[in-house]
Amino acid sequence: HGDDKGIVLPPVVAPHQVVVVPIFRKDDAEEVLQAARQLAEELDEAGIRVKMDDRDLRPGEKYYHWERRGVPLRLELGPKDMKHGQVMVAIRDTGEKAAVRRDEIVGRVEEMLAEMQWRMLDKAEKDLRERITDLPDIPYGFELEDVGRVGWCGEEDCATQMEVNLEVVFLGEDMDMKGPAIERCTTCGGTAKMTAYVSKTY
């Protein structure tokens, strides 16, 4: 997963699911840092993998740094947020930002991470489906661009002929049957024992 800003990590695999970025000036640094550390501790105690970024850098530099690394959620906390009892949350995959009540932040972060995980999975499955071409037969001169779904009778000769004609390799059987079964073998036209995926080789 990725975009023009860098990678986008699904929460389940992200080393850091959340980064806390305190925003402060010299005169309020101690107060803001203390509040940000408390926030990070609460998230950590809830089992969320959190990173506290208290480096002496401008907020924009920190945002860029963590966006490039695909951290799912960025929590921003500054004097104005503390005054209003809120935390600003930036969501990596959508680019959206939302103000969340400070006393609800742990629960909302858990919800946002779960929502992001399912949203990214759904997008990945949709993108994959759009790249799959059903091949009940092989039209003359046809060239497969991405992934194809084929019917296969189980005979090795048919699989070999398919691989040669399409310049593909077999990826495996369609165990979930998310698409309609291809009932005839793509090569010989006999009864298909399975629906399988094939892909170009480079």
CATH number, domain with residue 148: 3.30.110.30
The boundaries of the domain holding residue 187 are: 136-200
pLDDT in tens, 18-30: 999 999 988 899 9
Residues 13 and 107 in one domain: yes
Return the higher-pLDDT residue of 178 and 78: 78
Q: Are residues 124 and 141 in the same domain?
A: no
Are 105 and 66 members of one domain? yes
Q: Determine the Cα angle at 106 with ends 32 and 69, to 5°.
A: 75
Write out pLDDT tens, residues 149-196.
Answer: 899 998 999 999 888 888 888 888 866 655 567 889 999 999 998 888
Indicate the pTM of the whole model. 0.76
Interval 4-31 mean pLDDT: 93
Domain identity same for 123 and 194? no
pLDDT value, residue 140? 66
Contact 50, 44 (CB under 8 A): yes
Whether residue 19 is found in the same domain as residue 85? yes
Question: Tokens for 28?
Answer: 């309020």
- Domain boundary, last residue among 111, 128, 145: 128
Mean pLDDT computed over every residue of the chain: 90
pLDDT-above-70 percentage for the chain: 95
**How big is the chain by its Cα radius of gyration, in Å?**
25
103, 128, 153 - which closes a domain: 128
Q: Enumerate residues 6+ apart whose C-beta is below 8 A from 166.
A: 135, 138, 142, 143, 144, 148, 198, 200
Domain total for the chain?
A: 2
